[in-house]
Amino acid sequence: MELHLYDSWERRVRRFDSIQPGRVGMYCCGPTVYDYAHIGNLRTYIFEDLLRRTLEFNGYQVQHVVNITDVGHLVSDGDDGEDKMEKGSRRSGKSAWDIAQYYSAAFMADFRALNLLQPAVWCRATEYLPEQIGFIEELERKGYTYRTADGIYFDTSKQDDYGYMARLDRDALQAGVRVAIGEKRSITDFALWKFSPLETRRQMEWDSPWGRGFPGWHIECSAMSAAHLGSLFDIHCGGEDHIAVHHSNEIAQTQACHGTRLANYWMHGYFLQIDSKKISKSDGDFLRLQSLSEQGFDALAYRYLCLAAHYRSQLEFSWEGLQAAATGLQRLRETYHRWPDGGVADEGWLQGFRAAINNDLNSARALALVWELVRSDGDAAVGKATLRAIDAVLGLDLDNWRPDSYQVPETVLALAHQRQAAREQKQWQEADRLRLEIRRQGFLVEDGAAGPLLKPDRG
Ligand SMILES: Nc1ncnc2c1ncn2[C@@H]1O[C@H](COP(=O)(O)OP(=O)(O)OP(=O)(O)O)[C@@H](O)[C@H]1O
Ligand SMILES: [Zn+2]
């Protein structure tokens, strides 16, 4: 059966054909690790995981590469403002290198909790300086760069089709310039290399043919994708906000350097919103996976919520919606585990599932089909085997759920640690107070030989 995917370049659903038979190279723009990921960021990774699993379901071997931006992503897309990493460092009092490590680890934990498949390669921008510098040197040799007081810039006027994917109207943009663009020749030009400011040393800076400084944000993805997947590969993904600036700039650089449009298919996940506004880290207080678990929701309920909407439509987050997703997931888990093993997956149902998911990842339709299967009166063992095959794509991890499994929210875990510390210092009153607080949050503590055990208070 054919696979059809929406390509942002052509702005239509196209049949998917890989460059090499049976293999797919896929590059996904990863997190900027200056803070925790919010659930909006995570929606994009869930979409990318669904895409990868769908490709694998169709028999492809996927070389999945995800980068980690640990330098160069400025607060403003206009090439000014602080580096997000240095900002994170100032806020937390830790070094930029330490926060990169800390938030990368936090991101990996979210990745695992959402049952996202590990990419073949994680690549960090700070580990690819020679590749990025080499790329910029090549652009310079080809005459695409110019120098200003604060860096080396890409000259977008050298390309007639700059911004094609975003269908940018450059003249209108230039005419409407309201902000100072400094020495930049055009509003769409962007930094390839930024010089370290003379008066302050940056924590992350390197020597280069142009002087001490750091790479611009876009160059890392062109350089690292070329290093791992070559100068033309199958699919490039990111969130919808990347179309106009980040991906337009990646394409411009790669077109100038290698003469390709970088990827054959460009795919974008649409925003998760609250009150009709994109969830953003810059908003200060933002929802992350832990915020959901503090309210008693497990990560896979969030995954289910995302699957229930098409990746190419904006999704409005609500607690009621998440509750409905959690209930649906719970029923699915219980049904799956009630059904006996020993069946063989039913080809008819799988065909129906494939038709839905191969139609530009219609996961909402696929979930509806799962419910039709659950409500059908077919052989239960066959149903279970079919559901198992489908879950290889949906990734709800039905198989590993145990009827008595439960998640202890991190706030409760923290209280349990505090209580343990109080007990060790023989502060019995404080320990009792904490036990009560834990009880209020729905858990009982049992002090066994192997240490305290937390169980949900079902009484
Ligand atoms: N509200 C959202 N919904 C879905 N995807 C999002 C949302 N916000 C950002 N993304 C995507 O998340 C991924 C990671 O982005 P990154 O870590 O650079 O976050 P960011 O752009 O700094 O976030 P923010 O803009 O919220 O500060 C990117 O693919 C980006 O397009
Ligand atoms: Zn990127």
324-359 pLDDT, tens per residue? Answer: 999 999 999 999 999 999 999 999 999 999 999 999
Ligand 1 pocket test, pick from 241, 266, 279, 316 with the greatest ligand atom count within 8 Å of Cβ, gives 241
**Mean pLDDT value across residues 300-320:** 97
Residues 386 and 264 in one domain: no
Confidence of residue 172 (pLDDT cuts 50, 70, 90): confident
Confidence of residue 193 (pLDDT cuts 50, 70, 90): very high
Nearest atom in ligand 1 to the alpha carbon of residue 37 is 17
Nearest atom in ligand 1 to the alpha carbon of residue 31 is 17
Residues 263 and 283 in one domain: no
Residues 321 and 395 in one domain: yes
Ligand nearest to C-alpha 48: 1
Residues 210 and 104 in one domain: yes
Binding annotation? 29, 221, 246, 250, 281
Determine if ligand 1 sits within 6 Å of the CB of residue 220: no
How many domains are contained in the chain? 3
The confidence score (pLDDT) of residue 450 equals: 59
Nearest atom in ligand 1 to the alpha carbon of residue 41 is 12
Q: Which of 269, 300, 316 is the C-terminal boundary of a domain?
A: 269
3 state SS for 99-136: HHHHHHHHHHHHHHHCCCCCCCEEEEHHHCHHHHHHHH
Binding annotation for Zn(2+)? 29, 221, 246, 250
Ligand 1 pocket test, pick from 33, 35, 44 with the greatest ligand atom count within 8 Å of Cβ, gives 44
Binding annotation for ATP? 281
Asked if residue 53 is part of any domain, the answer here is: yes
Q: What DSSP letter does each residue of 243-270 carry, written as one string? A: IIIIIHHHHHHHHHHHSS-SEEEEEEEP
**Mean pLDDT value across residues 299-306:** 98
Residues 367 and 247 in one domain: no
Asked if residue 198 is part of any domain, the answer here is: yes
**Mean pLDDT value across residues 382-387:** 98
Distance 332 CA to ligand 2 centre (A): 36
Residues 100 and 207 in one domain: yes
**Mean pLDDT value across residues 7-21:** 98
Q: Is the pLDDT of residue 90 over 90?
A: no
Distance 218 CA to ligand 2 centre (A): 6
**Mean pLDDT value across residues 136-156:** 97
The confidence score (pLDDT) of residue 284 equals: 73
**Mean pLDDT value across residues 370-399:** 97
| Percent with pLDDT over 90 in the chain | 75
Ligand nearest to C-alpha 37: 1
Asked if residue 405 is part of any domain, the answer here is: no
Taking the C-alpha atoms of residue 239 and residue 35, their distance in angstroms, rounded to an integer, is 18
Asked if residue 383 is part of any domain, the answer here is: yes
Residues 376 and 446 in one domain: no
Q: Is the pLDDT of residue 200 over 80?
A: no
Nearest atom in ligand 1 to the alpha carbon of residue 69 is 18
Asked if residue 115 is part of any domain, the answer here is: yes
Q: Is the pLDDT of residue 406 over 70?
A: no
Determine which residue's CA is closest to atom 5 belonging to ligand 1. 41
Q: Which of 210, 243, 269 is the C-terminal boundary of a domain?
A: 269
Whether the model clears a pTM of 0.90, i.e. scores above it, the answer is: no
Confidence of residue 2 (pLDDT cuts 50, 70, 90): very high
Phi-psi region of 11 (alpha: psi -120 to 50; beta: other; left: phi over 0): left
Q: Which residue has the higher pLDDT, 57 or 377?
A: 57
Nearest atom in ligand 1 to the alpha carbon of residue 238 is 29
| Percent with pLDDT over 70 in the chain | 97
The confidence score (pLDDT) of residue 95 equals: 86
Distance 272 CA to ligand 1 centre (A): 10
Q: Which residue has the higher pLDDT, 74 or 242?
A: 242
Asked if residue 28 is part of any domain, the answer here is: yes
Asked if residue 182 is part of any domain, the answer here is: yes
Asked if residue 37 is part of any domain, the answer here is: yes
Host domain of residue 78: 4-269
Phi-psi region of 303 (alpha: psi -120 to 50; beta: other; left: phi over 0): alpha
Q: Which of 253, 269, 285 is the C-terminal boundary of a domain?
A: 269
Determine if ligand 1 sits within 6 Å of the CB of residue 281: yes
Residues 331 and 393 in one domain: yes
Determine if ligand 1 sits within 6 Å of the CB of residue 271: yes
Ligand 1 pocket test, pick from 26, 39, 41, 282 with the greatest ligand atom count within 8 Å of Cβ, gives 41
Distance 32 CA to ligand 2 centre (A): 10
The confidence score (pLDDT) of residue 178 equals: 66
CB contact set of 456 (below 8 Å; sequence gap of 6+): 406, 442, 443, 444
The confidence score (pLDDT) of residue 303 equals: 98
Phi, psi at residue 234, to the nearest 5°? -80, -60
The confidence score (pLDDT) of residue 397 equals: 97
Residues 179 and 160 in one domain: yes
Taking the C-alpha atoms of residue 222 and residue 226, their distance in angstroms, rounded to an integer, is 6
Residues 339 and 259 in one domain: no
Taking the C-alpha atoms of residue 48 and residue 42, their distance in angstroms, rounded to an integer, is 10
Phi-psi region of 51 (alpha: psi -120 to 50; beta: other; left: phi over 0): alpha
Residues 127 and 107 in one domain: yes
CB contact set of 11 (below 8 Å; sequence gap of 6+): none
Q: What residues have their beta carbon closer than 5 A to ion ligand 2? A: 29, 221
Per the prediction, the chain carries an average pLDDT of 92
The confidence score (pLDDT) of residue 336 equals: 96
Determine which residue's CA is closest to atom 2 belonging to ligand 1. 40
Determine if ligand 1 sits within 6 Å of the CB of residue 101: no
Q: What is the CATH number for 118?
A: 3.40.50.620
Q: What is the CATH number for 374?
A: 1.10.730.10
Residues 211 and 286 in one domain: no
Q: What share of residues in the chain are helix, strand, coil (percent, to 5)? A: 45, 20, 35
